[in-house]
Amino acid sequence: MAKLLSQEPVETQRAVVAMLILIKSVAVAKSIRSGYNIGFAEYVRRNYPQVDEDIITMVKDILEHPGGGR
């Protein structure tokens, strides 16, 4: 998926990263409201079991290092 995304225009890449950040914030808010703190990856695994583990890992890395480690 990262290779595919890298072929998209910069505007598309930024939009995807913005959506991922939004998803992460929703996951964090839901875990706080429920009284326990689970990470983004665990939230996705519980709520979206159809998502491939490689995708979860890639998205988690993007969210933790949005500038690509620069």
Q: Which domain holds residue 18?
A: 2-64
Residue 10: inside a domain: yes
Question: Which letter does DSSP use for residue 6 in this model?
Answer: H
pLDDT at 70: 45
Residue 69: inside a domain: no
Residue 32: inside a domain: yes
Listed as ranges, residues in the chain with pLDDT below 70 are 1-2, 30-37, 66-70
Residue 60: inside a domain: yes
Alpha carbon distances (Å) from 67 to 41, 42, 46, 50, 64: 19, 23, 27, 28, 9
Q: Give the type of residue at 66.
A: P
Residue 25: inside a domain: yes
Structurally, the chain folds into a number of domains equal to 1
Confidence (pTM): 0.48
Residue 59: inside a domain: yes
Residue 47: inside a domain: yes
pLDDT at 67: 62
